[in-house]
Amino acid sequence: MIRKDIQEAVDLIKELVEIPSPSGNTKQVIQYADEFFTELGVETIKNRKGSLTAVIPGKQDDQERMLTAHVDTLGAMVKEVKPNGRLKIDLIGGFGFSSVEGEYCRIETSKGEIFHGTILMKQTSVHVYKDAKTAERNMDNMEIRIDEKVASAEEVKALGINTGDFVSFDPRVQQFENGYLKSRHLDDKASVGLLMRLVKEIVEENMELPYTTRFLISNNEEIGYGGNSGIPPETVEYVAVDMGAMGDGQETDEHTVSICAKDASGPYHAGLRKNLVRLAERENIGYKVDMYPYYGSDASAAIRAGHDIIHGLIGPGIDSSHAFERTHAESLEATYDLLKAYVTSPMIEVY
C-alpha cells in the first residue's frame, strides 16, 4: 500500500512527465509549477534563465537553505529537413541514439504547432537493408518519420517544421500496484514532484522551518548550468535533489534514498553528507551512500560558478537512467522522508 502523501507525489510526477520540457523549451512546465505554488500562497521568483524559486520563510533568514530539482529533460532538435521528408535530429542532453530508437515523439514548431512522429533508423526494414541490425545508431542513420503525408523537404517545411524545432519523447508513464513507477524523465521530475509535495505539506501543516528555505525548480540542468545563478548570498547549504544512478558497482537501488559522496565533479561536502546519513539513521530511513562516475548536478554547477556554499546531492534510485527509467514508491518515500527531516533540522557547523 503506497502512503497517501507519496501517492500524491506520484500523481504530480505523472502530470509533470506528460508536459514536454526538453532543455531550452521549459516555459510550460515552469508555469505548471508556478501555478501550483501560487495556489498554496507561496512566494515565487523567476530569473531571466526561466527557472523558478519558491520561498518559504523560516525562523532565521540571515542564513538560508536552498533545495533544487530540475524540470528540463533530455530531448532533441530538428537538425535538418531531409530531401525525403524525414527529419535529421541533434540531441539535447547526454544520451545515446540507441536509447530513443523506436520512440514516439512530438515536434513543436516555432509557431507552437504540434506534429507527431517516430524516431527510427533509416535502415529499419530488415526486408530491405542488410545492415538493419548492425548499422551504427548515430545522427546520420537516425531520423524522424513524421505522421503526415509528406515525401519531400518542401512538403515538410510547408507544414511549418524547420531546423531548430524542439523534439520531445513520449514518456509512456505507468504506475503499478506493487509500487513500481516507470517513465521517461523520472530524471528529474520524480524529485520535482517530491519537492512540490513537500512544500504543500509545509504550508498546509503550518510547519515552521528553522531557516528560510528556497526551492529552486531549475530548467537547464541537462546542459550543465541549471543551478549556477539566482542563489542569494545568504545561502549556506545547497542540496540538489536528483536521481541516484544505478548499475554495476553501484550501491544505489530502487528502494532507498541515494546519498551521493562523489560524482564526476569531485566529492560533495563531507560534513553535509554525514549529516544526511545521521538524519536517515535517526529516522530509520533506508539509504545508500554512493558515487556516480559520469554525473554532474545543479549543486556541482553552483560550486563551479563560484558560489560559497556547502553542497550536497540526494535522490531516489532510478534504474536505466537517461533511457527507460524506473523507480519504486519505497525510494520516493525514503527520499521524501529524508528531505522532510533535513529541512526541519539545524544546519551543520561550517567550521
Whether residues 280 and 305 fall in one domain = yes
Q: How many domains does the chain have?
A: 2
Whether residues 284 and 138 fall in one domain = no
pLDDT in tens, 59-70: 998 999 999 999
Please give the Cα distance from 92 to 78 (Å, whole number).
11
Residue 188's nearest CA partner among 222, 235, 138 is 222
- Where does the pLDDT of residue 36 fall: very low under 50, low under 70, confident under 90, or very high at 90 and above? very high
Please give the Cα distance from 130 to 81 (Å, whole number).
25
pLDDT in tens, 2-20: 999 999 999 999 999 999 9
Q: What is the dihedral angle through the alpha carbons of 20, 24, 29, 33, rounded to the nearest 10 degrees?
A: 150
- Where does the pLDDT of residue 117 fall: very low under 50, low under 70, confident under 90, or very high at 90 and above? very high
pLDDT in tens, 135-194: 999 999 999 999 999 999 999 999 999 999 999 999 999 999 999 999 999 999 999 999
Whether residues 192 and 317 fall in one domain = yes
Domain membership flag for residue 131: yes
For residue 29, the model assigns a pLDDT of 98
For residue 291, the model assigns a pLDDT of 98
Structural domain containing residue 96:
75-169
- What is the torsional sign of CA 259, 18, 175, 5? positive
Domain holding 163: CATH number?
2.40.30.40
For residue 5, the model assigns a pLDDT of 98
Whether residues 255 and 123 fall in one domain = no
Average pLDDT value for the chain: 96
pLDDT at 351 over 90: no
Domain membership flag for residue 351: no
Whether residues 31 and 123 fall in one domain = no
Share of the chain above pLDDT 70, in %: 100
Domain membership flag for residue 174: no
HSE toward the beta carbon, residue 147, CA cutoff 13 A:
10
Please give the Cα distance from 282 to 133 (Å, whole number).
52
For residue 304, the model assigns a pLDDT of 93
Residue 242 counted as an annotated binding residue: yes
Please give the Cα distance from 108 to 311 (Å, whole number).
36
Whether residues 293 and 337 fall in one domain = yes
Residue 55's beta-bridge partner residues?
Answer: 43, 214
pLDDT at 230 over 90: no
Domain membership flag for residue 90: yes
Listed residues 143, 169, 195: the one ending a domain: 169
Whether residues 314 and 189 fall in one domain = yes
Whether residues 162 and 65 fall in one domain = no
Q: What positions carry a catalytic annotation?
A: 221
Whether residues 35 and 125 fall in one domain = no
Residue 269 counted as an annotated binding residue: no
Domain membership flag for residue 180: no
- Helix (H/G/I), strand (E/B), else coil: 348: coil
Please give the Cα distance from 242 to 350 (Å, whole number).
24
Domain membership flag for residue 175: no
Whether residues 67 and 82 fall in one domain = no
Residue 187 counted as an annotated binding residue: yes
Domain membership flag for residue 18: yes
Whether residues 318 and 267 fall in one domain = yes
Q: Averaged over 279-288, what is the pLDDT?
A: 98
Residue 165 counted as an annotated binding residue: no
Residue 298 counted as an annotated binding residue: no
For residue 227, the model assigns a pLDDT of 80
For residue 121, the model assigns a pLDDT of 95
Q: Averaged over 81-94, what is the pLDDT?
A: 97
Whether residues 284 and 251 fall in one domain = yes
Domain membership flag for residue 83: yes
